[in-house]
Amino acid sequence: MYAPKFGISNKILKNIGSIEASREVIENAPLVPSFEKQFQSDAMIRTIHHGTHIEGNDLTLYQTKKILEGQEVYARARDIQEVINYRNAEELLDELTVKRGDYDPVMLKDIHRAVVDRIVVPEKVGVFRTTEVVVREEGTGKVVFSPPPHVEVPYLLEDFFAWLNDPTAREIHPVLRAGITHYILVAIHPFVEGNGRTVRAFSNLVLMRENYNVKKFFSLEEHFDTEPGDYYDALSFVDRQSPNIGARDLTPWLEYFTHVVAVELEKIKDKVRKLSVDTKLKVKFGEQIALSERQMRLIEYISDQGSGGMAELK
């Protein structure tokens, strides 16, 4: 059974603390249903756009939104299909989230099947690779990543899923489990094509099944795509440690991954707080009010301090 090597550094502790604080605010904020639905819709669009854009899709966020709304967009057929596929994969995650039982390779294959439908030749859809592959640098052709030989893929996955389902491993914080899942599946590179999208979706599945989807308000894909250099550097830094995946120390990657989750949840927390304050004012004054940053801080201070804080301001 695979046993990930990592330590709980001060950076990881700080990031997990920030994640928990943001999660508490987001999940307990008094948002009206229409706001929650809008947050989820926006996050879904960003996830699909950035999840495909980071892999070379040329569609804009606006075009992605139009496709998801069922409107016609003039663009490369493959780009349009990738967006449709990623939406289908996101819907599949919802189904897999409520599915009973352990994680298994069939889930991974099903996600891959959704991601590469009508893009990859049928005989390679939802099928673990039976050939060697390398990732080359665009322009130079230099090999930047060499995954394990294809004959090792089934055994590496078997060891990984044994760990993921192990009762002791389930005691690890869900965000760390999602981060470990993300790295290991990228390192194994189980498919000929579509690994990045499949792995990021499966990592999200871990968060969703283990109650860390945080109302589905956020998009890690947006962060990865906005700063792709940091994303790939964090992965390759660990890759270079050893040809043996099991011997690699995942601490640097987990510091990066928890930072990404913390940053994205912090953004959502701030938006939720503003909407919560606006909602309270609407109840009091009968209309929605747009607040300045200073006004928001002042009202939050008053809310935190209660009547005592109000007295101090007189």
- Give the chain's domains with CATH numbers: 10-313 (1.10.3290.10)
- Tell me phi and psi for residue 275, to 5 degrees: -65, -35
* Mean pLDDT across 68-79: 97
User: Looking at per-residue confidence, does 178 or 308 come out higher?
Assistant: 178
Amino acid type, 255? E
Is 212 within 8 Å of 23 (Cβ atoms)?
Answer: yes
Of residues 174 and 286, which shows the higher confidence score?
174
Question: Whats the size of the chain, residue-wise?
Answer: 314
Query: Distance (Å, rounded) from C-alpha 26 to C-alpha 30?
Result: 9
Task: Please say whether the beta carbons of 220 and 260 come within 8 A.
Answer: yes
Tell me the pLDDT tens digit for each residue of 162-198: 999 999 999 999 999 999 999 999 999 999 999 999 9
**212-271 pLDDT, tens digit each:** 999 899 999 999 999 999 999 999 999 999 999 999 999 999 999 999 999 999 999 998
What does the pLDDT read at residue 30?
A: 77
Cα torsion 65, 71, 73, 79 to 10°: value is 60
Banded model confidence at residue 144, pLDDT cuts 50, 70, 90:
confident
Q: What is the mean pLDDT of the chain?
A: 89
